[in-house]
């Protein structure tokens, strides 16, 4: 298998780190992104990954800003090489019931979680098509499928990913470029661990398999969809949620 260059946005989060490891374990050269202004934290993360045997380049990136994405992509292509695999993982939450949700909370989430899909895909898509190979995986969410109280912004953005994924999957299908989505359920990450114990217990009680998912279970789904021999899978969504939502 030839080595590919894989980009994972939001690399230092619980899911992002697992995805970086999975891509590296597949033999790819992995490039991650981190939020501008968190340079020291990113450096510590990179060093920690190196101690685990993973040599992962990492660059600052604001996925909500198109110019930042273009600059990031240009830097990666200059210093590492052309991007073959793109995993759009970076995202945020700004939760509030609709009656109390402020315009800024809506806009911040839509720009980061949905506009970022265009911002990252548009600058790399044509080159992938020209080379005859590309793998794009957009990370959506269980709550994009079923909705969630207090997450009108997040659920809307994550649901929008499905339409975007299907549309550009059609554009890349005959050019060797596949585009798919993965929708994690509740995963055992630092973000989920901040949920109060009583609330988390009720969440787990509603998951048919009876437990939280592990980050590695999401990264295996991403690795499957980005594999060299996954060229007949495109425009689909892979739900990894322990049976909590069955579509």
How is residue 178 written in tokens?
């596949």
The span from the CA of 8 to the CA of 31, in Å, is 6
Q: Spot the catalytic one: 34, 59, 66, 154.
A: 154
The span from the CA of 181 to the CA of 189, in Å, is 20
- CA angle at residue 80 from 129 to 69, to 5 degrees? 65
What backbone torsions phi and psi does residue 210 show, to the nearest 5 degrees? 80, 20
In whole angstroms, how far apart are CA 207 and each of 60, 74, 134, 194, 214?
Answer: 36, 42, 34, 18, 14
DSSP state of 37: T
Alpha helices per DSSP H over the chain: 14-25, 39-51, 66-79, 103-110, 116-131, 142-146, 152-172, 190-193, 197-205, 215-226
The span from the CA of 134 to the CA of 172, in Å, is 8
Dihedral sign, Cα of residue 51, residue 57, residue 60, residue 64: negative
154 is catalytic: yes
Q: DSSP characters for 70-131?
A: HHHHHHHHHHT----EEEE---------GGG--HHHHHHHHIIIIIHHHHHHHHHHHHHHHH
Active site residues: 154
């Amino acid at each position: 298998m030839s080595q590919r260059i894989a980009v994972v946005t939001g690399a230092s989060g619980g899911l992002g780190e697992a995805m970086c490891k999975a891509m590296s374990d597949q033999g790819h050269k992995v490039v991650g992104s981190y939020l501008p202004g968190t340079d020291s934290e990113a450096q510590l993360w990179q060093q920690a990954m190196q101690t685990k045997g993973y040599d992962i380049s990492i660059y600052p990136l604001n996925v909500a800003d198109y110019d930042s994405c273009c600059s990031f992509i240009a830097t990666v292509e200059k210093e590492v090489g052309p991007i073959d695999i793109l995993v759009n993982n970076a995202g945020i939450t700004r939760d509030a019931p609709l009656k109390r949700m402020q315009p800024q909370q809506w806009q911040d989430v839509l720009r980061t979680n949905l506009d970022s899909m265009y911002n990252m895909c548009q600058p790399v898509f044509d080159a992938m098509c020209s080379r005859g190979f590309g793998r794009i995986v957009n990370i959506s969410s269980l709550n994009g499928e079923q909705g969630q109280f207090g997450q009108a912004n997040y659920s809307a953005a994550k649901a929008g990913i499905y339409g975007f994924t299907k549309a550009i999957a059609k554009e890349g299908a005959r050019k060797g470029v596949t585009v798919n989505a993965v929708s994690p359920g509740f995963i055992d990450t630092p973000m989920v661990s901040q949920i109060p114990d009583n609330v988390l217990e009720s969440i787990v009680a509603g998951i048919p398999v009876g437990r939280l998912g592990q980050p590695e279970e999401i990264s295996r789904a991403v690795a499957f969809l980005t594999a060299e021999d996954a060229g007949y899978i495109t425009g689909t969504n892979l739900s990894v949620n322990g049976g909590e939502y069955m579509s």
